[in-house]
């Protein structure tokens, strides 16, 4: 099993600091997520039904009816590779590590490449990437992705894009075109865990052609998402006022975080997290992670890529604690 962010209990035990005293900046989840509405008690007594309006709400929100509801996008990440004959697969790295692990486990020959241009030049049939990238925070433009899908289609290949952090990057999102006549070889994953802050509900979507969606549906089995989770997801996807206000708030918070972190090193950002890059000094990165942890602020280290990721604080008190911790930082000699 791979390590992921959000392991607050383990950090509290390791550093001997009470769980309630921590600020968790390790996950990139919206700290002020969608407010959970009252849930009809009948949701707990009946199996979920596909005609409850969730699929329609998702199709309207994402602009694409070619979708399948998932128990989190992680389900598609794990199962999708088995729906393809084993071939060479290019993964743009750094990347959410569950993606390459799943393709390798399914028997595909994995190539880790740093750019989309290198991946296309390598002539691998399939290319897998995150956009915006997790963990580097770099974002590819929509035009580059559609061009890549077209070039891959010419050689019978597929483009698989994980858009878990794309809700606030609408101008570069391509979920609406997955499985369309324009991009029949495009598969896109989305999740309600990050922007909507509903990670615990385990609701995600995959968009693409019917043949892949039908096979994925069979592999996942019936009732993949609980009735209460479907009810909350349906309302969140339809709440355009909350979405607009949240995009504006996240944009401001992201800028504030990037400016706060700038004295520590090179910063890249998305709406939901900022990433420090320290390619020439991993020891410095480790010391910085420790510095914050000893002040009960959990960040996410990516030692192999020399990156340190920071999610957004959820309150003014948390912002002030982070500001103080940064001011107290003294680089090791």
**For the domain that residue 13 is a member of, what is the CATH number?**
3.90.1150.10
With contact defined as beta carbons under 8 Å apart, do 257 and 269 qualify?
Answer: yes
> Among the three residues 238, 270, 301, which one is the final residue of a domain in this structure?
238
Q: Do 218 and 265 reside in the same domain of the chain? A: no
Question: H-helix or E-strand containing 106?
Answer: none
Whether this model's pTM surpasses 0.75: yes
* b/e sequence 212-233, b meaning 16+ C-beta within 10 Å: bbeebbeebeeebbbbbbbbbb
Distances in Å between the alpha carbon of 147 and those of 126, 142, 143, 191?
Answer: 14, 9, 6, 24
Residue 302 has pLDDT above 60, yes or no: yes
pLDDT for 283 equals 86
With contact defined as beta carbons under 8 Å apart, do 327 and 289 qualify?
Answer: no
Residue 2 has pLDDT above 70, yes or no: no
Residue 300 lies in a domain: yes
Q: Do 165 and 202 reside in the same domain of the chain? A: yes
Residue 223 has pLDDT above 80, yes or no: yes
Let me know the angle formed at the C-alpha of 132 by 284 and 165, rounded to the nearest 5 degrees. Answer: 100
**Cα separation of 19 and 8, whole Å?**
7
pLDDT for 199 equals 95
Residue 92 lies in a domain: yes
Q: Do 148 and 213 reside in the same domain of the chain? A: yes
Beta-carbon count within 10 A of 234 CB: 19
What is the domain range of residue 98?
41-238
Residue 1 has pLDDT above 70, yes or no: no
> pLDDT tens across 8-59, in order?
999 999 999 999 999 999 999 999 999 998 999 989 999 998 889 999 999 9
């Amino acid at each position: 099993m791979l390590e992921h962010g959000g392991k607050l209990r383990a950090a509290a035990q390791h550093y001997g600091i009470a769980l309630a005293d921590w600020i968790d900046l390790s996950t990139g989840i919206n700290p002020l997520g969608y407010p959970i509405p009252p849930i009809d008690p009948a949701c707990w007594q009946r199996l979920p039904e596909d005609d409850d309006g969730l699929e329609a709400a998702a199709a309207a929100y994402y602009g694409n009816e070619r979708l399948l509801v998932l128990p989190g996008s992680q389900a598609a990440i794990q199962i999708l590779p088995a729906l393809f004959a084993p071939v060479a697969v290019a993964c743009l790295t750094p990347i959410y590590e569950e993606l390459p692990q799943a393709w390798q486990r399914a028997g595909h020959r994995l190539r880790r490449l740093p750019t989309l241009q290198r991946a296309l030049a390598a002539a691998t049939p399939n290319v897998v990437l995150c956009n915006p990238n997790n963990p580097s925070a770099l974002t590819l433009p929509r035009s580059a992705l559609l061009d890549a899908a077209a070039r891959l289609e010419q050689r019978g290949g597929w483009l698989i894009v994980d858009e878990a952090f794309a809700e606030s990057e609408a101008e570069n999102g391509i979920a609406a075109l997955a499985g369309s006549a324009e991009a029949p070889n495009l598969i896109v994953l989305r999740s309600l865990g990050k922007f909507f802050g509903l990670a615990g509900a385990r609701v995600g979507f995959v968009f693409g052609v019917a043949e892949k969606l039908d096979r994925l549906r069979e592999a996942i089995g019936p009732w993949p998402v609980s009735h209460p989770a479907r009810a909350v997801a349906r309302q969140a996807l339809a709440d355009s006022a909350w979405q607009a206000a949240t995009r504006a708030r996240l944009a401001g918070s992201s800028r504030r975080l990037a400016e706060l972190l700038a004295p520590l090193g090179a910063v890249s950002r998305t709406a939901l997290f900022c990433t420090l890059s320290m390619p020439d000094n991993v020891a410095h990165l480790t010391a910085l992670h420790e510095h914050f942890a000893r002040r009960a602020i959990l960040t996410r280290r990516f030692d192999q890529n020399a990156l340190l990721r920071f999610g957004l604080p959820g309150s003014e008190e948390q912002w002030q604690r982070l500001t103080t911790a940064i001011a107290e930082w003294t680089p090791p000699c």
